Amino acid sequence: MGKEEQLLEGWRELTPENQQKVLEFVEALKSQSEAKETNQEYIPQTPLAKKLWEIRQRAIASGIKLLNKAEIEQELA
């Protein structure tokens, strides 16, 4: 049995509440991955950008979940 099949089998056995927790966990993992990629690529150029970048990195390290694109658009609406 492949990993996808194992995940689907386990998913089907979960309560709706636990399925939501799994979705939130997956989003958190994606955010962490994106943050690591961004961290390796982004180099702040101004003092303000450096300060904001430091604040962002501390927030990520503390476990704050970053918003994805859809969530940002929803916040701005």
Give residue-wise pLDDT tens across range 26-57.
888 887 766 666 556 778 999 999 999 999 88
pTM for the structure as a whole: 0.43
Give residue-wise pLDDT tens across range 58-69.
988 898 888 888
Q: Are 30 and 63 contained in the same domain?
A: no
Q: Are 1 and 30 contained in the same domain?
A: yes
**Do residues 35 and 66 lie in contact, with contact meaning Cβ atoms separated by under 8 Å?**
yes
Q: Are 17 and 32 contained in the same domain?
A: yes
The count of other CB atoms within 10 Å of the CB of residue 53 is 15
C-alpha span between 11 and 3 (Å, rounded): 12
CA angle, 12 as apex, 8 and 14 as ends, to 5°? Answer: 120
Domain that holds residue 72: 41-76
Residue 21, classed as helix, strand or coil, is: helix
* DSSP single-letter state for residue 64: P
